Amino acid sequence: MKSVTVIGAGAAGIMAAYWAAKGGASVTLFEGSTTPGKKILVSGGGRCNVLPQQSSVKDFHTQGSKNLVKRWFKSWSLADIRQFFEDDLSIPLIDEEDGKVFPKSGKSREIRDALLHSAIEAGVILKQSFRVEDLSPYLEQGPVILATGGRSVPKTGSDGKGYGLCKDLGHSLVTPYPALVPLWNEEADFQSLSGLSLPVQWQARTPQGKILDQGRRNLLFTHKGFSGPAILDASHWVTREQAELFVNWGEKNAIEWEKLLLYESGKITPLLQEHLPRRLAKTLLRRVAIPPDLNLAQLDKVRRKELIRKITECPLNITADAGWNAAEVTGGGIPLSEVNPASFESRCQPNLFLCGEILDCTGRLGGYNFLWAWVSARLAGTASAQEQKED
């Protein structure tokens, strides 16, 4: 009897195995480490941001067709996925700030265990500490689903092995890069603000000044540079496109700051601290060589304009990213054009299906990459079961 083989017991792999088994297939799930779903366990600070509350194709990066991505997400709606977790897996979910959805228990292990238990209950055979070096023997037995992930957080088992397996079978590769990753800055005054977090408006621009993307989320100063949701979202443009990042530290625009600094009275430091964190306000004043006790009436036009730029359009001068160990996901991967849009079956190798992070589709921070894993895995798992029946 032919069977479906799933390689990689992460979020996408377990979900794909579950749907293949529910489709009537005989399924074996291989995991290279001793612990399935390691990335699920460490995600969201151990709480697992399992879904976003809302989603659109704009929340994802790919060099492939955005229309395809949109079509795939229509195949299993956010509401239906949430119902699957809450009803089929019996996991209560709660909405939290910044549009995120977590298990009510606050424990990522609940998500991993429920998925794994449901897959095994559906008939999936799990084999741990088993690394697949060659796909050929398994492809002879029936459909194979490759869900080996990318290269991010290698301690969880993501070592990029799947890319080599795909290339051996004729696939190409969109060069992988660290995504959702902290960024480094070598300016000592910013590094001294380590631990400070605040909401900012950010822009990623080309060297010519074209705006590639922008958003408003929290930024965290670290001892090496910057992190937090704003930076992780923006990091894609830095690591892939070598974009420059600019930040507005407050809620006011340049015109509003111009009015404040021209028409308010008193000392400049108290005014800035009404709208910016104290330590940041002092740092920005030092950058423009403005004494902290200067009266607003004494602020000349040149320094006023420069201070406004430092507040509303401050370049972050990124020097590097934190690398694969700190990246939450991998950008790039197997091109979307190299899988069948109806099934995620490889166009290069019959009976091979791809899903999850191994493909060139990356979401922003907030449960979007889990959403991609769930949706792509369900389609690949269901299609592979159908392929087995036809065989």
Selection from 366, 345, 377, 326 nearest residue 143 by Cα: 345
- pLDDT at residue 98, rounded to an integer: 87
pLDDT at 379 over 90: yes
Question: What are the residues whose beta carbons fall under 8 Å from the beta carbon of 14, sequence distance 6 or more?
Answer: 29, 36, 37, 112, 115, 116, 119, 377
| Cβ–Cβ under 8 Å, residues 383 and 353 | yes
| List of domains in the chain | 4-177+330-390 (3.50.50.60), 183-321 (no CATH)
> In the sheet where 100-103 sits, what is the strand order?
51-52, 100-103, 93-96
pLDDT at 118 over 80: yes
pLDDT tens per residue across span 257-278: 999 999 999 999 999 999 999 9
pLDDT at 291 over 60: yes
Q: What is the mean pLDDT of residues 178-198?
A: 97
- pLDDT at residue 347, rounded to an integer: 98
- pLDDT at residue 85, rounded to an integer: 98
Q: What is the mean pLDDT of residues 148-175?
A: 93
pLDDT at 325 over 90: yes
pTM, two decimal places: 0.94
- pLDDT at residue 388, rounded to an integer: 61
Mean per-residue pLDDT of the chain: 96
pLDDT tens per residue across span 276-287: 999 999 999 999
| Cβ–Cβ under 8 Å, residues 70 and 57 | yes
**What distance in Å separates the CA atoms of residue 267 and residue 299, rounded to the nearest whole number?**
10
Beta bridge partners, 220, equal: 197, 227
Q: Per-residue confidence at 113, pLDDT binned at 50, 70, 90? A: very high
Q: What is the mean pLDDT of residues 193-199?
A: 98
- pLDDT at residue 390, rounded to an integer: 60
Q: Per-residue confidence at 2, pLDDT binned at 50, 70, 90? A: low
Scan for tokens 């008939």, then name that residue: 123
Q: Per-residue confidence at 253, pLDDT binned at 50, 70, 90? A: very high
Which residue type is seen at 148? T
Percent helix, percent strand, percent coil in the chain, to nearest 5 = 45, 20, 35
pLDDT at 391 over 70: no
Scan for tokens 């290269």, then name that residue: 151
Please, is 390 exposed, middle or buried when counting C-beta atoms within 10 Å of its C-beta (0-12, 13-18, 19+)? exposed
- pLDDT at residue 158, rounded to an integer: 83
Please, is 214 exposed, middle or buried when counting C-beta atoms within 10 Å of its C-beta (0-12, 13-18, 19+)? middle
pLDDT tens per residue across span 333-364: 999 999 999 999 999 999 999 999 999 999 99
Scan for tokens 């974009």, then name that residue: 243
If one counts every other C-beta atom within 10 angstroms of the C-beta of residue 123, the result is 15
pLDDT at 1 over 80: no
Alpha-carbon radius of gyration of the chain: 24
Q: Which residues of 335-349 are buried (b: 16+ CB within 10 A; e: fewer)?
A: bbebbebebbbbeeb
Backbone φ and ψ of 172, nearest 5°: -100, -175
- pLDDT at residue 59, rounded to an integer: 96
pLDDT at 97 over 90: no
pLDDT tens per residue across span 44-72: 999 999 999 999 999 999 999 999 999 99
% of the chain exceeding 70 in pLDDT: 98
